Amino acid sequence: MKTSLSLLIVSVAAGALAAPAFAQGLPPEAHDNIHRLFDQHAAVQRSVTLTATGYTALTESDDPEIARTLRAHVQQMRERLDSGLAVRRWDPAYDEMVRHYKDLDLKVEPTAKGLRVVMTGKTPAAVKIAQNHAQIVSKFVAKGWPEHDVKHPAVAASAPAPAAPKENTATGGAQCGNCGGGKSGGESGSCAGNCGRAAEKQAERK
């Protein structure tokens, strides 16, 4: 699970330095937390209630370590979005959410086994985007790695196509939308192209 190979670390770091602020790669801890949650998706329980203004989600695990990882992951992604950085730029639904992030209000409440998230939209489009996001995360929990590389459709009527992945000068390939690493193959901008753990999972599924 660990992506501690020196070459990968150098590649990710170089990609982050070469990229504009919104395209900087994830810090190693945040990257590892995402992979841990995909690895252990079967240990996560999630329920979602769609509301008139967005959704409420309860995401928990009986495993204390996974529960801590859930809380840490949400906090890391919140800080990233608050800083104007992108998440999964190659995925239309996430690109759309980043562009409408100022119209989304997020409240997070820790629970004994995880956390409760309430996301509300300030506009009709933001409400649709929030609800779409909730359903995508539920698919991640239900399916794990096979859902990781899926491009999810945007739902706002005027949503433009996401920008093409930035060229990674360190590797000569497209920059990964998740970790900032270079792409050696696979779908453009997909973490599965060069991200060590995702590549392993991709090979196991073949």
pLDDT digits (tens, 9 = 90+) for 53-62: 999 999 999 9
Sheet holding 114-121, edge to edge: 44-51, 54-61, 114-121, 104-111
79-88 contacts, C-beta under 8 A, 24 or more apart: 80/26, 80/30, 84/21, 84/22, 85/21, 85/22, 85/23, 85/24, 86/22, 86/23, 86/177, 87/177, 87/178, 88/177, 88/178
Phi then psi for residue 149, to 5 deg, are -95, 10
**H or E stretch covering 68:** helix 64-82
pLDDT digits (tens, 9 = 90+) for 94-113: 999 999 999 999 999 999 99
Q: Is the pLDDT of residue 85 over 50?
A: yes
Alpha helices in 107-195 (DSSP H): 124-143, 145-148
The reported pTM is 0.68
Joined tokens for residue 151 = 């491009």
Residue 4 has pLDDT above 60, yes or no: no
Extents of the domains making up the chain: 22-164
Mean pLDDT within 49-72:
98
Contact 176, 182 (CB under 8 A): yes
- Residue among 28, 30, 33 nearest 5 (CA): 28
Q: Cβ distance 188 to 174 under 8 Å?
A: yes
pLDDT for position 24: 62
Cβ distance 25 to 176 under 8 Å?
Answer: yes
* Residue predicted with more confidence, 148 or 190: 148
Task: pLDDT band for 182, please (50, 70, 90 cuts).
Answer: very low
Residues 122-127 have a mean pLDDT of: 97
User: Which of these, 26, 116, 110, 119, lies nearest to 68 by C-alpha position?
Assistant: 110
pLDDT of 133 reads 98
Alpha-carbon radius of gyration of the chain: 16
Of 8-12, 118-122, 164-168, 176-180, highest mean pLDDT:
118-122
Structure tokens at 24: 């900087």
